[in-house]
Amino acid sequence: MSAKKAADSKKKVVTKKTTKKTVKKTVSTPKKKAAPKKTTSKKTAEAKQPTTKKTISSKAKSESMSKKVSLPKKSYYFFGSGKAEGNGELRNLLGGKGANLAEMSSAGVPVPPGFTITTDVCRLYYDNALQVPKEIDKDLESYIAKIEKSTGKKFGDTTDPLLVSVRSGSIVSMPGMMDTVLNLGLNDATVEGLGVKTGNMRFALDNYRRFIQMFGNVVLSIDKELFEAAITKKKAERRIKQDSSLQINDLKDIVKKFKSIIKRKSGESFPDDPFTQLRLSRDAVFRSWNNPRAITYRRLHNIPAEAGTAVTIQAMVFGNMGNTSGTGVGFTRNPSTGAKEFYGEYLVNAQGEDVVAGVRTPQPIKQLKNDMPKMYKELVDITTKLEKHYKDIQDFEFTVQENKLFMLQTRDGKRTVQAAIKIAVDMVKEKLITKEDAIMRIDPHQLNQLLHPSIDPKAKIEVIAKGLPASPGAASGKVYFTAEDAVKFGAKEKVILVRDETNPDDIEGMVSSAGILTARGGMTSHAAVVARGMGKCCVSGAEAVRVNAKKKQFQIGKLIIKEGEVITLNGSTGQIILGKVPTIEPELSGEFNEYMDWADSFRTLKIRANSDTPADSLKAMKFGAEGIGLCRTEHMFFDEARIPIVQDMILATSAEDRQLALDKLLAYQKKDFKAIFDALDGYPVTIRTLDPPLHEFLPNKEDVAIKLENLDVKSDTFEEDEEKLKRTLVRIEELAELNPMLGHRGCRLGIVFPEITEMQTRAIIWAACQVAKNGTKVFPEIMIPLVGHVNEFKHQKAVVTRVADEIIGKSKTKDLKYMVGTMIEIPRAALTANEIAEEADFFSFGTNDLTQMAMGFSRDDAGKFLGKYVEDGILENDPFVSIDQSGVGQLIEMAVEKGRSVKPKIKLGICGEHGGDPDSIHYCHKVGLEYVSCSPFRVPIARLAAAQVAILEKKNSKAAKKTAKKK
């Protein structure tokens, strides 16, 4: 379909502003798959971006036009000339960019005028067969007229043309994930007018070729490398290296070549009509909401698909008008360290995309103080006010056009978690925010980034090059040169993604990589910003690195590093190191400890750790754990020295032989528990008796058969070895189960083999008595697993109390207290929790098994389909990651209610992996549990999440009281 027909189908919208005739043939709207309807899922199935360029079928158009679409009251919001129709309260409608531009404009900040098309229109665009409803589309020209009035320029005018940018803007900042079109409004006639008006034809043509290239790539999905190749070819012909050395005739040739590429690849001519350009670009930005990189980013950051993007159309200002012009990006504080310092980069005689795309390596923003002192002072003054207004670090973009400063954007800055904590603590001390604000400001998941390793200072290293320290941390891995290879090999091993510069399409590869190295780009390049947000180690702007992606290698001087070879990155110093280098655990900063102390002052939920060794227990305490909520004794049995003894116990044919093996294990278990009690220094320890089925401790059947077949008949121990291997094979057959997770495990083992429970109880209580004798308080909690019936618990409790009371009675620590409780991990246990609570001192919800049994999902096999369930919106979250509150949650709430109905002070906690998930922690607080238990490295996450839910509860309570008072 020609553009003329496409325009006819859109009510023949023709601009009055251009002096040229409307072109007979322009570019048609690419056909895209519509976004899905809203669902309750955070990760709704989303449309994928096709690469073909076809028009929407007539049938789809007629069907969409016949739909009755519910239109919003207002779809456009103007800003400029010190006024704005919107404000910061309208982020959901205007996106972060549009809302902040409106606020800046109202505050008198120099902002180029423009308007924002709301997220409502984005949703309508997808509901309306990828078209903006005609009732909304018709108002586009009147809002362009408002920009014309504010700037004194005319859109499409051949003497003083208005040029605009078209940008995306989500509610949550998604840097680089969606598309932008700059310099829109240029054609063969207006470029001449711009050249005459500015007295700089080279400047005008440079903007024209940039616009055609961006339009071809963003709107028409033409590979940008085709355009870059044309520029490279022209520079080679002229024997020049820099784009800035291209002359007027060179740029004219490039413009012709670019148009030829568009004609060849799209089948249609580049559109000269500015309003056609504008409508196609607006729609392309709406479509970019569902491009693959945006979908990936939303999935990683839990941004709902139905939120949509706003589109901001704004008058262009130019940083590429000579040495009195420039452009830059910056932060009001250092986004890597949090230091209170003006931070950023700029380029003289450049457009904004040149800075963030990493095409040229920019200058530090402090250098602007020397190059343009007046502009620097004005910029510092404005951004300082913006930080005070928004009460957070600001990430800003600016352009200087012939010694006049314009602010293009401000938003809350992405930062490392180290920086986030320092900034939050500092801002409390500066009285910008409260402690509650500081606690609510950081996503608990981000604390994972604090635990990244750093280079061991004692290690001998060979530094082969140095770049910019774009994102802290250290990472070693094999080098790969494409995002696809990083994804492919990153699933199996640590990889380092090496690129000239990354672009948003590399997002999946960046996610899969341990670290990122780029040869170009600065501290605010795409690689740097995205890596910091992910907590990935990154070194950017390593200009000594010569990347050859085709040969899959990079070169530094004479040194060549090929695909698959190992390097190490130090993201804190920018060093690139040959080979793998030892790393050390991070030391938590003073600000971190202060921040977490604030968090602890707000939370009511206790935080314990799942730990099976003294080393892990000490680590958990260092991270702020208040006890051990799950010590899995079976993990102690897999030690190389112990597994043969465990196997002897299993293979024993008599009670005497079994007891002999158990006595050997007893000595080990006593040491284990004493070391853990010593490490906990008075905090409670919940120890689970043996849980897994016995066959897990035996060797693989095939391995045993091979050993038996290969026995040396000449060996002195041949007969003994043969008999044992044969017995092992028989025992493996006897213990084999079709469904071992529901088989002979947990309390069922203790009932059939009570001597196992006796041995473990003896070790626990003996160790507790030894520690107590030394004057250390000790609180052992013995937990019986997989109880489904109260009689099972009674049986095991009787064994425990008999042995424990006997040992305590003989010791000098007769006042030692212990508890006996159970895991609630079988649905029947939750249903009969009142019966079990009459006997148990505590409940700990084993949510891994409880989820498995309640939902009928095998923990080992559900991974094959759960991703699809979440992607398609069948489930909101993976239930093994975040508690299924409406299903499994009912069992938890029932057990809490029934348990407390007979024993109001029964201790209640959770020890499944959900104990480290912030959403699940919020739920545990809501249902009234006393503690959550998680892996040691997730303890800080749990502490912060528990503080946040307590603050939210208090805030909501105050709001409810206030509302009730008004009524």
Number of CB atoms found within 10 A of residue 555's CB = 15
Number of CB atoms found within 10 A of residue 776's CB = 14
The pLDDT of residue 359 is: 60
- What 3-state DSSP class applies to 453? coil
Mean pLDDT of 408-427: 91
Contact status, residue 470 vs residue 515, Cβ threshold 8 Å: no
Length of the chain (residues):
967
> What is d(CA 886, CA 950) in angstroms, rounded to the nearest whole number?
21
Number of CB atoms found within 10 A of residue 904's CB = 8
C-alpha triplet 449, 455, 456: angle, nearest 5°: 125
Phi and psi (nearest 5°) for 908?
Answer: -130, 130
* CA separation, residue 270 to residues 20, 202, 211, 215, 266 (Å): 14, 21, 11, 9, 9
Chain centroid, CA 422 distance in Å: 21
> What is d(CA 1, CA 4) in angstroms, rounded to the nearest whole number?
8
Q: Which of 527, 515, 465 is nearest to 486 (CA)?
A: 515
Sequence-separated (6 or more) residues with CB below 8 Å from residue 61: 9, 129, 131
Contact status, residue 355 vs residue 315, Cβ threshold 8 Å: no
Please pick, among 452, 526, 922, 925, the residue that the annotation labels catalytic: 526
Report the side by side order of strands in the sheet with 343-348: 363-364, 343-348, 326-331, 394-401, 404-412
Q: What is the largest CA-CA distance in the chain?
A: 105
> Tokens standing for 841?
């001192």
pLDDT at 45 over 50: no
What b/e readout covers 175-202, taking b as 16+ CB neighbours within 10 angstroms? bbbbbbbbbbbbbebbbbbbbebbebbb
Please pick, among 538, 747, 769, 911, the residue that the annotation labels catalytic: 911
What DSSP character marks residue 332? S
> What is d(CA 660, CA 682) in angstroms, rounded to the nearest whole number?
33
pLDDT at 669 over 50: yes
pLDDT at 11 over 80: no
Strands 842-845 and 819-824: parallel
pLDDT bin (cut points 50, 70, 90) of residue 524 is low
Tell me whether residue 431 is exposed, middle or buried, using C-beta atoms within 10 angstroms of its C-beta: 0 to 12, 13 to 18, 19 or more. exposed
The pLDDT of residue 244 is: 76
What is the residue whose two structure tokens read 């107590």?
A: 772
Strands 566-570 and 575-578: antiparallel
What DSSP character marks residue 291? S
390-399, 727-736, 790-799, 938-947: which range is least confident on average? 727-736
What is the residue whose two structure tokens read 């008595």?
A: 769
- What 3-state DSSP class applies to 51? coil
Mean pLDDT of 228-256: 91
Residue 635 designated active-site = no
Name the helix (H) or strand (E) containing 7: helix 3-9
The string of pLDDT tens digits covering residues 261-282 is 999 999 999 999 999 999 999 9
Contact status, residue 197 vs residue 185, Cβ threshold 8 Å: no
* Cα dihedral 614, 617, 623, 626 in deg (nearest 10): -140
The pLDDT of residue 386 is: 95
> What is d(CA 215, CA 211) in angstroms, rounded to the nearest whole number?
6
pLDDT bin (cut points 50, 70, 90) of residue 954 is very high
* Cα dihedral 788, 791, 794, 798 in deg (nearest 10): -120
What letter represents residue 279's amino acid? R
* CA separation, residue 620 to residues 505, 625, 781, 911 (Å): 39, 5, 18, 14
pTM for the full predicted model: 0.73
15-19, 213-217, 234-238: which range is least confident on average? 15-19
pLDDT at 534 over 90: no
* CA separation, residue 640 to residues 422, 632, 644, 646, 721 (Å): 44, 17, 8, 11, 19
> What is d(CA 643, CA 633) in angstroms, rounded to the nearest whole number?
13
The pLDDT of residue 504 is: 66
What is the residue whose two structure tokens read 């972060």?
A: 96
Tell me the pLDDT of the chain averaged across its residues: 87
> What is d(CA 690, CA 114) in angstroms, rounded to the nearest whole number?
68
The pLDDT of residue 350 is: 82
Distinct helix (H) and strand (E) counts, the chain: 37, 34
The pLDDT of residue 830 is: 98
- What 3-state DSSP class applies to 731? helix
- Helix, strand, coil percent content, the chain, rounded in steps of 5: 50, 15, 35
pLDDT at 775 over 50: yes
Mean pLDDT of 593-607: 96
Name the helix (H) or strand (E) containing 751: helix 747-752
> What is d(CA 684, CA 677) in angstroms, rounded to the nearest whole number?
8
The pLDDT of residue 454 is: 79
Number of CB atoms found within 10 A of residue 66's CB = 7
Q: What percent of the chain has pLDDT over 70?
A: 91
42-46, 756-760, 846-850, 917-921: which range is least confident on average? 42-46
Comparison of pLDDT for 173 and 338, the residue scoring more:
338
Name the helix (H) or strand (E) containing 234: helix 224-238
The pLDDT of residue 22 is: 32
> Tokens standing for 623?
């991270």
The pLDDT of residue 342 is: 94
pLDDT bin (cut points 50, 70, 90) of residue 326 is very high
pLDDT bin (cut points 50, 70, 90) of residue 69 is low
What is the residue whose two structure tokens read 């072109």?
A: 23
Report the side by side order of strands in the sheet with 515-518: 463-466, 575-578, 566-570, 474-480, 495-499, 515-518, 537-540, 468-471
Mean pLDDT of 785-805: 97
Mean pLDDT of 30-34: 39
Question: Helices marked H in 303-429 — which ranges?
Answer: 352-356, 368-371, 373-390, 417-429
Residue 526 designated active-site = yes
pLDDT bin (cut points 50, 70, 90) of residue 357 is low
Number of CB atoms found within 10 A of residue 434's CB = 12
Contact status, residue 135 vs residue 446, Cβ threshold 8 Å: no
> Tokens standing for 899?
């348990």
Tell me whether residue 242 is exposed, middle or buried, using C-beta atoms within 10 angstroms of its C-beta: 0 to 12, 13 to 18, 19 or more. exposed
The pLDDT of residue 254 is: 96
Mean pLDDT of 185-211: 94
Contact status, residue 165 vs residue 313, Cβ threshold 8 Å: yes
Q: Where are the beta strands (DSSP E) in 215-297?
A: none
Tell me whether residue 381 is exposed, middle or buried, using C-beta atoms within 10 angstroms of its C-beta: 0 to 12, 13 to 18, 19 or more. exposed
